Structure 1
Amino acid sequence: MAEQTMSSFVEEIMEMNCLSCVICKEVLRPPIMLTQNIGNVCSTCYEEKCELSQMTSLPNEPMEKILKLMKLPCKYKQKGCNETLSYEELLTHQNGCRYRTKLCALFKFTGCEWEGNRNDFATHFKECHGDHVINFENNIFFLETSLRDLHLVKLLIMNKKIYILRMQTNQEKRRLFYMICNVKDEHSSFCEYSVKHKGSSDNYIKTKSKILSSYNIYNEFDENIAVQVDLDALKQISQISDTITNIFKIKTEDSRTENLDEKILHFFECPVCKNYMKPPIYQCQSGHSICNTCRPRLEKCPTCRAIFGTTRNYSLEGLTSGVQYPCLYHDLGCPEAAVATVISRHERECQFKPYSCPFPNCTSTGNYQTMINHLIAFHSDAVIYNGATGYSESFRLDNSSCYTKIFDRKCVIAFNQIFRLSCKRHADHCLWAAEVYGSNIDMKTYVYEVTIVDMRRPEKKFIRTDYCLSDVSEEELSKRCIMFPNSILSSYSNHGMITFHFNIKEK
């Protein structure tokens, strides 16, 4: 009888919300804080609501003691759970209760009324809101967003972990706000993420924050606990467009990479480009080090303004043989790490290496596969692929309107590389050149061949070959190309038309 009376008493005070947090409406989690003019607040809400720390609050220890003496029903009782447990057991049970349900995270924006088991949460998103799902590996994903009015919700699926990203702009405050919340309500002492906001320039803005609880998925967007970035600063790095690329990198307990190598690598950071220095490493007269890429561009040390000589930091170079360098493109998703000599070779052909479109006036960028897809989709009339390694073309030799201009530019996708082929005419000669675009491989790996054919007698040919260049300026291209004088070309013309074959070959 006494047990029934206690059970009735507990149900009664539960219905009155006497044991609930005034903010999240969940059973109070210790340490419970009694906040002036607010009421009892659980530990999770007190930590996440920054403004509460500015108010007068006291630990409500008597309430904690009362809770520990009670046996409480599972919050999913109405869903079919009949468990009644001690306060400490209850919190653990509810996190894994098989009757536990979730609302659709988009119900406020789309009116979706789905409610179901948390294990079906991701399945529902995929089936009903597929355009809001981002699957990713290696703890990194990319998201392009507008700097104008923005209000988005994305489901992030990383292996077995599921998160919700909420992002929006406030044009009045000129701020971009966002937060990532854990769908599964798992509390972790280490669960954080960083974001690089990149535009069309090399500059970027980086932020870092912790992943929040699922409570923030369903409540009003709280700008006080969200990460905020200045919209005007983002506009500056986006330059012409109003679009930025957000590179999210999530760190969890099982993916934490803060190890000895990372701590040591801090001392290898170049003060100019912020990349890690690899041999040869140079230093100024005062002993400040700089990487071999930035050294040729500077006369004076950026730290102390001392003159640079040819002095190298051999002590620092000696340490590189025992340090695991992350790939230069690790922020773009590459998981590779190796000693300096090995990682440098890897970086030349890294699949995550960013490419810009090889055609003038096109600003598209992306990794190798993204760029291949872009070229085929938007420049198909000037792209050779599907096994072909070159093309044939004809032009009129006396057409003076093409002088000093590149009159023919094409791309060849072959040998897992992108080649840019260019033809240029002058008053007294014609030029042909081929570049291995966006790659730092040994240039003697590939050659290009230009064949001038007399179409009156196809067996009559003039053939020249040369090594492919790395992508260079147009001025440099004119100095290092294959050149045919017009006096020779005219002897191969057919009624003033010159026919040529332009091919790429692997040595």
Structure 2
Amino acid sequence: METDIDLYNFSDELVEKNCLCCAICKDILRPPVMLIENVGNICTPCFDEKHEDMNWRYLNNYALENILKMVKFPCKFKSKGCNDRFSYEELTFHQTNCEYRTKLCSMFKFTACEWEGNTTDFIDHFKEYHGDHVIIFEKNLFYLETSLSEVSLVKLLVMKPHTFILRMQINLSRKKLFYIICSVKDDYSSFCEYSVKHKGASENYIKTKSKILSSYHIHNEFDENIAVEVDLEALRQVSQISDTITNIFKIKMEESQAEVIDEKMLHFFECPVCKNFMKPPIYQCQSGHSVCNLCRPRLEKCPTCRAIFGNTRNYSLEGLTTGIRYPCIFHDSGCMEISSVSDILKHESECPFKPYNCPFKDCSSTGNHEVILDHLLSFHFNSVIYGDMAGYTESFRLDQNSYSNKIFERKCVIAFNHIFRLTCKRFAEHCLMAAEICGCKSGEKTFVYEVAIIDMSRPEKKLIRTDYCLNEMPDDELFKRCIMFPNTVLTSYSNHGMVTFHFMIKQK
């Protein structure tokens, strides 16, 4: 009995002797096959191109077509290491994308790089010679700032064990942004799709979704027809972009069966206003349409049927929430947490992917916890203190001429993996000190701040006040709830006109 190996050896011999190849282009024949008198078997493209000029006598070679349908052909890059075999229908596509195919560097247009080689070597080459275009990220999320003056770009995206290529192009004449993501090794079976948030100066954004493409599109001309399209004019209006676009990419991993079921159920819990998933309490209009508890106070009429809203609860829908696992509300920012409704609410209050504003109010930077920490150390280094244990000590001059009823100091304290903002304000009669925990709504009554006024001439003499750290709030409200030191008391602790205080964050 013949084995597959025998058949493979036989088909290889037929290919080597050109028995299954076009007599003109020498490529593997593809049905329909034309047998030309005094020429031989040729493929349809060659026949269509030359038949009218040559006036051939021909007939269809059905016998050879049947043989072609049975043969598994070797890849033409076999000598370079590819051992895969394909039918004639699959062969052309494979050879176009074969990882052993000799490929040009995708940075050629930008750097005139003349490298060429196979897929594995391409990744090593890109990392070594174009390292400033490599983005290494975890948890399937990465940020990319795009300038409108940068017409096109290429980035290697490394998310072990997978590697992708991002190609982005801006067409200013059409006022469009185009992009694609391709799998370098075509190992994207677990990463079928991805989403992108496109943002500007405002909190609003435009979101796009697409699928990861094959490596074919890495080394060929950029095709706007298959790329994702973003309207720059719409983005300018929605997100207030100027010269820079913030793109937040999230690659979606393959879902388990349980996650698929949860996602199908969650579809019925989507709020028609904010598009987030409704959690108890859930309110309904007179016609039975439901909205979430965050949107309800802003609505007078139902957005679906325009019926009047009362305070009617949808208890049936609320009851069903106990059997559903909710994704974190910050899943588009990279959080992978999925949990019950009670547990997810607690998680969301302290989620590390929760968006933060920079604690310094004259700065407009935003990002998740890690991004803001990096931003603080890069741009506000002199005003950042790490205070996990000892806290920090500072002094100020108790001089009535300096009283201006203005905030005289803001500091940012990093403690217990949280960000705290310390604000001091002086009046003619007293000095106020407040501490806010940034970004985390569960921080109140979890952390306290301690301020100790120290007489430096007699360090054992201290005035200590302690209060709960507050959630972020407007200054007017903040200074109604903070620690107050009368200046008459501070005077008794001053040393040569200087008042020294020690500040510390403590966890209860």
Which category describes the TM-score, using the shorter chain as reference length? 0.7 to 0.9
- The match for 1:113 is 114
Q: How does 1:215-364 map to 2 (within 5 A)?
A: 215-239=216-240, 241-251=242-252, 259-364=260-365
Q: Which residue of 2 aligns with 1:169?
A: 170
Tell me what 1:192 maps to.
193
Tell me which residue corresponds to 1:7: 17
The residue number in structure 2 matching 1:437 is 438
Q: Give the distance between the partners of 2:49 and 2:498, measured in 1 at CA.
A: 87
2:405 corresponds to: 404
Partner of 2:55: none
Distance in 2 (CA, whole Å) between partners of 1:493 and 1:86 is 89
Structure 2 equivalent of residue 26 of structure 1: none
User: Cα distance, 1:314 vs. partner?
Assistant: 1.2
Give the letter for the 1:178 counterpart. Y
* CA distance 1:300–1:474, shift in 2 (3 Å): farther
- Give, in whole Å, the separation in 2 of the partners of 1:265 and 1:82: 45
Classify 1:286/1:479 alpha carbon distance in 2 versus 1 (closer, same or farther; 3 Å). farther
Per the alignment, do residues 183 and 71 of structure 1 end up closer, same or farther by CA in structure 2, a change over 3 Å counting?
same
Structure 1 contact 356–363 (Cα < 8 Å) conserved: yes
Report how far residue 77 of structure 1 moved: 5.9
Q: Render the CA deviation track for 1:35-94: whole Å, top value 9, x for unaligned.
A: xx999xxxxxxxxxxxxxxxxxxxx99897685377866322675879997626856985
Task: Say which SS state the counterpart of residue 296 (structure 1) adopts.
Answer: helix
Specify whether residues 481 and 61 from structure 1 end up closer, same or farther in structure 2 by C-alpha distance, changes over 3 A only. Answer: farther
CA distance in 2: counterparts of 1:263 and 1:229, whole angstroms = 28
Note the alpha carbon deviations across 1:88-113, whole angstroms, 9 max, x for none.
68569859978544332223332223
Query: What does the per-residue CA deviation read over 1:158-204, in whole Å, with 9 as the maximum and x for residues that have no partner?
Result: 33333321101011111101112233357979933322212232211
Q: Which residue of 1 aligns with 2:487?
A: 486
CA contact (8 A) 2:205 2:239 kept: no
Q: 1:330-352 CA deviation, whole Å, 9 max, x = no partner?
A: 11111110011011111122222
Segment of structure 1 superposing worse, 315-324 or 128-137:
128-137
5 Å matches for 1:39-54? none
Structure 2 residue identity aligned to 1:330:
H
| SS of equivalent residue, structure 1 residue 472 | coil
Q: State the match for 1:474 in structure 2.
A: 475
Does 373-382 or 211-220 show the bigger shift?
211-220
Corresponding residue of 1:179: 180
Equivalents in 2 of 1:341, 1:13: separation in Å? 71
Q: Compared with structure 1, are the counterparts of its residues 17 and 256 closer, same or farther at alpha carbon in structure 2 (3 Å cutoff)?
A: farther
Counterpart in 2 of 1:380? 381
Give CA deviations for 1:280-301 in whole Å, capped at 9, x if unaligned: 2223333332222233344444
1:410 Cα deviation from its structure 2 partner: 0.6
Q: Residue 449 of structure 1 corresponds to which residue in structure 2?
A: 450
Shift of residue 322, structure 1, vs aligned partner: 0.6
Structure 1: distance between partners of 2:363 and 2:369 = 16
**Alignment CA distance shift 1:87-1:317 (3 Å):** same
Q: Are 1:132 and 1:153, in contact at CA under 8 Å, matched by a contact in 2? A: yes
Residue 7 of structure 2 aligns with which residue?
Answer: none
Aligned to 2:151: 150
CA–CA distance in 1 between the matches of 2:297 and 2:344? 22
Say if 1:147 and 1:242, in contact at 8 Å, map to a contact too: yes
Are 1:210 and 2:211 matched, yes or no? Answer: yes
Deviation of the 1:320 alpha carbon: 0.9
CA pair 17-111 structure 1, distance change in 2 beyond 3 A: farther
TM superposition shift of 1:122: 2.0
- 1:102-128 per-residue CA deviation (whole Å, 9 max, x = no partner) reads 332223332223232323332222222
SS at 2:17's partner residue? Answer: helix
Residue aligning to 2:142: 141
Q: Which moved more, 1:114-123 or 1:255-264?
A: 255-264
Q: Which residue number in structure 1 is paired with residue 35 of structure 2?
A: none
For residues 340-399 of structure 1, what are the alpha-carbon distances to aligned partners after superposition, in whole Å with 9 as ceiling and x for unaligned? 101111112222222121012212222212222221222121111164553222223334
Kindly provide the amino acid, as one letter, of the partner of residue 243 in structure 1.
T
Structure 2 counterpart of 1:391, one-letter code: Y
Aligned amino acid, residue 370 of structure 1: V
Kept after mapping to 1: 8 A contact 2:431/2:487:
yes
Give the match's secondary structure for 2:489.
Answer: helix
1:380 partner amino acid: F
Query: How has the CA–CA distance of structure 1 residues 172 and 4 changed in structure 2, closer, same or farther, with 3 Å as cutoff?
Result: closer
Q: Contact 2:403/2:428 (CA < 8 Å) preserved in 1?
A: no
Question: TM (normalized to structure 2)?
Answer: 0.81
Aligned position for 2:396: 395
Post-superposition Cα deviations, 1:22-41, rounded to whole Å, max 9, x if no partner, equal xxxxxxxxxx999xx999xx
Cα 1:389/1:293, change in 2 over 3 Å: farther
Give secondary structure in 2 for the equivalent of 1:421. Answer: strand
CA gap of 1:246–1:19, structure 2 versus 1, over 3 A, is farther
1:111-149 CA deviation, whole Å, 9 max, x = no partner? 223232323332222222222223334443332212333
Q: Using the TM superposition, name which of 132-141 and 7-16 deviates more.
A: 7-16
Instruction: Quote the Cα distance in structure 2 between the aligned partners of 1:222 and 1:92.
Output: 17
Q: Distance in 1 between matches of 2:501 and 2:84?
A: 83
Q: Supply the AA of the counterpart residue of 2:317.
A: L
Q: Which moved more, 1:490-499 or 1:409-418?
A: 490-499
1:25 paired residue number: none
Instruction: Report percent identity of matched pairs.
Output: 65
CA–CA separation in structure 2 for the residues paired with 1:268 and 1:374: 36
Letter in 2 for 1:341: S
Cα 1:254–1:339 change in 2 (3 A) is: closer
Change (3 A) 1:4 1:378: closer
Structure number with larger C-alpha Rg:
2
Q: CA RMSD in A?
A: 3.7
1:235-288, Cα deviation, whole Å (9 max, x unpaired) = 234426422222223346577986121111112122222221111222333333
In 1, Cα distance between equivalents of 2:488 and 2:507: 31
